[in-house]
Amino acid sequence: MRKRERGKRRVRRVVVVVPSIFTLANLFFGFWSMVLAAQGDFYRASWWIAIAGILDTLDGLSARVSKTGSAFGAQLDSLVDMVSFGIAPAVLLFFLMFSTQGAFAWVFSYAFAVCVALRLARFNAQSGEGHKRNFTGLPSTAAGMTLAAYYPFTQTEFYRVQLEALPWSQLMIFLIIALSLAMVSNVEYARLPRIGFRTARGIAGLVIHLTVLWFAIFNRDIFFFPLGLAYVSYGLARGVALVFRERGEDEEADSDQTQPELVVHGIDERQRKPVP
For residue range 76-122, what is the model confidence (pLDDT) as tens digits?
A: 889 999 999 999 999 999 999 988 888 888 999 999 999 999 999 99
Q: Is 276 inside any structural domain?
A: no
**Mean pLDDT score, 239-251:** 76
Report the CATH number at residue 44. 1.20.120.1760
Q: Is 216 inside any structural domain?
A: yes
Q: Which distant-in-sequence residues (6+ apart) come within 8 Å of 165 by Cβ?
A: none
pLDDT in tens, 128-140: 665 567 888 899 9
Q: Is 249 inside any structural domain?
A: no
How distant is the alpha carbon of residue 8 from its chain centre?
Answer: 37
What percent of the chain stands above pLDDT 70?
78
- The structure's pTM equals 0.79
Q: Is 246 inside any structural domain?
A: no
Q: How many CB atoms lie within 10 A of CB 57?
A: 13
pLDDT exceeds cutoff 70 at 270: no
Q: Note down the domain range covering 51.
A: 2-237
pLDDT in tens, 138-154: 999 999 999 999 999 99
> Phi, psi at residue 113, to the nearest 5°?
-65, -40
- Cβ atoms of 22 and 59 within 8 Å: the answer is yes
- Residue 7: pLDDT band (50, 70, 90) is very low
Q: Indicate the angle between helix axes 2-38 and 71-82, nearest 10 degrees.
A: 10
What local confidence, expressed as pLDDT, does residue 37 receive? 96
**Mean pLDDT score, 50-60:** 86
> Structurally, how many domains does the chain consist of?
1
- Cβ atoms of 113 and 196 within 8 Å: the answer is no
Q: Is 243 inside any structural domain?
A: no
pLDDT exceeds cutoff 60 at 3: no
Q: Is 24 inside any structural domain?
A: yes
Question: Cα separation of 115 and 176, whole Å?
Answer: 10
**Mean pLDDT score, 34-38:** 96
Q: Is 272 inside any structural domain?
A: no
Q: Is 256 inside any structural domain?
A: no
Provide the mean pLDDT of the chain.
82
- Residue 52: pLDDT band (50, 70, 90) is very high
What local confidence, expressed as pLDDT, does residue 42 receive? 96
